[in-house]
Amino acid sequence: MTDIHPDSMRARTGFPYRALLAPGIAQALIALDYAIVYVALPTLAQRLHLSASEMQWVVSLYGLTFAALLLSGGALCDRLGARRMFIAGMALFLFASLLGGLAQSGVLLLAARGGQGIAAALLQPTVLALMAQRFSGESHRRALAIWSAIGASGLVAGVILGGALTALSWRAIFFINLPPGLLALWLVRRHFLAAGKQPSLSGLKMGPGVTSSSHSAGKIHRPIFRFLHGSGAIIGCAAAGTLVWALMRYAESGAADFLANRLAAATILLFILHERYAPQPLLPRSLRILPGLQTGWLSSACYMASVGSQFFAMTLLWQQSQHLDAVTTGLLFTPLALLIVLGNAFYSRLSTRFAGSCLLIVGFAAAGLGLWLLSVNLTDPLSPSFISGIVLSGLGHGLIYPAMFAVGLAAVSEPQQGRASALIVTSQYIAGAIALAVIAVLLGTQPEIAAWQEVFRVLSGAALVGMLIAICADRSAESS
């Protein structure tokens, strides 16, 4: 079922900005908590006596649990309603944040990060689903641009706030989530009605051959665990986790780990076979055939493997190689944050004149060139190549983020918006976890400046792959 507020028609005549507050806060918290620990990692490692591999897992565990369970979260969103799942997910997110702030050991900290990832997996599909219910046409494009600006800003604000809050106490990076999270819970209850209070949606298509009337009659009722897609979620989580583990083992020892490599290969093959032959695959076959959605999730993976991992790489460079403190590192990200917001503003203006695939091409081209220019002179932030790299990568980042969702969700029906958006974000965070492990492999234990340059060239290459995907999508759209 869907949650529809009676005054949702206001989106067609006047833009209800207040309705964007709850989804916007949730998106900002999801993005912020992925990045906020970057700057705090050295302090966390010192205070809780974390090893190098445990430091990596503090970041990766959030992304992996998020990505592994996101499609299941999308299915639950479609089944139980966006408002209900938003409340459940936000409540769990706040509890995990409280646990992280009170953690006295690395084990409790990792448990809290895993809990935040699970909660984010429940929250993320509800954000786009709530927006799809309240906005349509031009107002939906405007809402998407505003939402993407909030999400991108949250990612960068995480790095900036991480430095400022760590100077006070590392525990503050978790407690900071509590006030806005509670506000979001109040706002979603105020602006979105429960599913049981919605108007009649008789005849609305819920999927191939299914209508809302048949749904209410119980013809497609199934136990809730069927919508959890348990086996697919577990296998997908195992495949991503073992791949990251294998890469991290290589980074630590400098040699391939026999067990880790073969376990990763086996679980990846098992997941592919499951999706190919299982009667209830994690991703429905009706969604796989949509060209726009394919472009969306592939672009999402390239985004996170390029500018999405730029924050992590630059944080390590400034703190571990150039020995800057947390506050200075956070402040150095301010220009990049502003440029990303500016890129989002450009998308909002250009999206009415150009196709989303065209904006993806421009965004990935700018990002790829910017990351390559950064690799030319990483040690001098006032050099022309460094400044140009920051400008281009920031603007490209701001263009890519909303464009990949606009392209990916354009042809998806509203009842499947939750699961489709979950696929796009799943690929984003799986690619992010793998990218962090690849960065660790490239840097090794004692990285020289040449290793840092290689890292940024690899990130640039991922952006160029995204540009090629967008070019193919644009040509396919012109020929159809």
Q: What is the pLDDT of residue 156?
A: 67
357, part of any domain? yes
Highest mean pLDDT among 64-73, 103-112, 138-147, 283-292: 103-112
Q: What is the largest CA-CA distance in the chain?
A: 67
Query: Same domain, yes or no, for 40 and 112?
Result: yes
256, part of any domain? yes
Query: Same domain, yes or no, for 319 and 354?
Result: yes
Query: Same domain, yes or no, for 27 and 63?
Result: yes
Query: Same domain, yes or no, for 314 and 271?
Result: no
Query: Same domain, yes or no, for 474 and 371?
Result: yes
Query: Same domain, yes or no, for 385 and 262?
Result: no
Q: What is the pLDDT of residue 202?
A: 32
423, part of any domain? yes
Q: What is the pLDDT of residue 433?
A: 81
Query: Same domain, yes or no, for 360 and 473?
Result: yes
Beta bridge partners of 211: 205
207, part of any domain? no
Query: Same domain, yes or no, for 186 and 37?
Result: yes
Radius of gyration (C-alpha) of the chain in whole angstroms? 21
pLDDT band for position 247 (cuts 50, 70, 90):
confident
Of 331, 255, 223, 288, nearest to 423 by C-alpha is 288
Q: Is residue 257 helix, strand or coil?
A: coil
pLDDT band for position 221 (cuts 50, 70, 90):
very low
Quick one: 213 exposed, middle or buried, by C-beta within 10 A (0-12, 13-18, 19+)?
middle
Query: Same domain, yes or no, for 398 and 466?
Result: yes
Give the domain extent around 258. Answer: 230-281
221, part of any domain? no
Query: Same domain, yes or no, for 156 and 79?
Result: yes
**Number of domains, the chain:** 2
In angstroms, rounded to a whole number, what is the distance separating the alpha carbons of residues 282 and 295?
19
Q: Is residue 209 helix, strand or coil?
A: coil
Query: Same domain, yes or no, for 44 and 153?
Result: yes
> Which position has the token pair 């709850």?
22
Query: Same domain, yes or no, for 258 and 387?
Result: no
What CATH number is given to the structural domain containing 178? 1.20.1250.20
pTM, 2 dp = 0.76
Higher pLDDT, 160 or 305: 305
Residue 210, phi then psi, degrees to nearest 5: -125, 135
